[in-house]
Amino acid sequence: MTRDDRHPQGKKRLGISFEFFPPKSEEMEGQLWTTIEALAGWNPDFVSVTYGAGGSTKAPTLTTVRRLIADTTLPTAAHITCVDATREEVRHVAEEFIAAGVRRFVALRGDPQSGVGAAYAPHPGGFANAAELVAGLRDIGDFDISVSAYPEKHPESPDVAADIDMLKRKADAGAARALTQFFFDNDVFERYLERVRAAGVTIPVVPGIMLIQNLTQLKRFASLCGASIPTFLDERFAGLDDQPQARAEVAADVAAEQIEDLVRRGITDFHLYTMNRAPLVSAVLQRLGLERSGDARSGAAA
């Protein structure tokens, strides 16, 4: 497939967004900002910064968001959750982000402090779910709000229908788009999207694309969040344990091929889980025929 085949003239450009997580050490902070500087030139529609279980990374998330807004021109979204917090506490967190210049949120219920897969219980004085959180943010102001979606069903949902009903409630509350949990089977996503539209949900459902840095670690994480790992991935990475460059090439090929197939199915926007590393992200975007366009720094060092 030629570059022109991947990105033909006259077609809507691919919309991309990047997800980062706040650093936990000085070394990781350096890596994050090197990554942000390297990826800024891809001109993402927005970037987002995650928020740890039970609000455990509030301070580093706020610090990262403040610096992104102050030192770059990247449209920046802050993740915000309602788990283990009262409505007043969540509103206070939102107001801190707003004071920092945030006008975009990714509103999530969140995982308990004990981690992904632990039993969830709404705080007695808090928002019961992400739909209520979206409505609460709307009560504060007119923000661009993204929410989550699960092509293979949230692991705590009784069935797909209940899961899609929750997505509809989030959309009805004012969400602008849904960003999906990662998946690798595009047929699963297409069937899910058909059911979402049949349920009357009209907001964009943006595929979340996981770039495979480590297949073994990804399998462990996927088992907790209800995402499946197709056997073809084992076949693609077979025999490459001691060949990091070859693994990186395969990982870039896998992600680019998934996106190209989704484009053929009519999808034009993608949310990339960067894992705070730039090389694989850039390799994927290069394979898609995208071009870097400028520098998102405002003059200060990024």
Classified as helix, coil or strand, 260 is: helix
Mean pLDDT confidence for 266-292: 96
**pLDDT the model gives residue 105:** 98
If pLDDT is split at 50, 70 and 90, which confidence band does 115 have? low
> How much is the average pLDDT of 189-204?
98
Is 108 strand, coil or helix?
strand
**Rounded Cα gap, residues 15 and 8, in angstroms:** 15
Q: In Å, how far are 120, 180, 194, 242, 289 from 161, measured between CA atoms? A: 20, 16, 12, 43, 37
- CA dihedral of residues 76, 109, 50, 196 (deg, nearest 10): -70
What percent of the chain has a predicted confidence (pLDDT) above 90? Answer: 78
Closest C-alpha to 48, from 148, 129, 131: 148
d(CA 68, CA 36): 9
The predicted pLDDT at position 85 comes to 87
Range with the lowest mean pLDDT among 55-59, 113-117, 119-123? 113-117
d(CA 188, CA 128): 29
**CATH level 2 (architecture), domain 3-287:** Alpha-Beta Barrel (3.20)
Active site residue 194: no
Residue type, 11: K
- Per-residue pLDDT at 302 exceeds 60: no
Q: Mean pLDDT, to the nearest integer, of 98-119?
A: 81
Q: What is the pLDDT of residues 15-31, one digit of tens each?
A: 999 999 999 999 999 99
Q: What is the pLDDT of residue 157?
A: 85
What does the block give as tokens for 3?
């570059």
Q: What is the rounded CA–CA span in Å between residue 168 and residue 279?
A: 36
For residue 41, the tally of other CB atoms under 10 A from its CB is 15
User: Would the pLDDT of 295 be above 70?
Assistant: no
Q: Measuring CA to CA, which residue among 20, 75, 30 is closest to residue 52?
A: 20
The pair of three-digit structure tokens given for residue 90, joined into one six-digit string: 């969540």
Residue 175: pLDDT band with limits 50, 70, 90: very high
Q: How many CB atoms lie within 10 A of CB 123?
A: 15
Does the pLDDT of residue 294 top 80, yes or no? no
Checking if the pLDDT of 11 tops 70, the result is no
Residue 288, pLDDT > 70, answer yes
Does residue 53 carry a pLDDT above 80? no
Domain boundaries, the chain: 3-287
CA distances in angstroms from 124 to 135, 199, 255, listed in the order given? 17, 30, 42
Predicted pLDDT of residue 169 = 98
Q: Within 13 A of 215's CA, how many CA atoms are on the CB side?
A: 21
pLDDT at residue 300, rounded to an integer: 33
Q: Give pTM, 2 decimals.
A: 0.90
* 204 phi, psi to nearest 5 deg: -60, 140
The stretch 94-120 carries a mean pLDDT of 82
Active-site annotation holder among 19, 26, 132, 235: 19
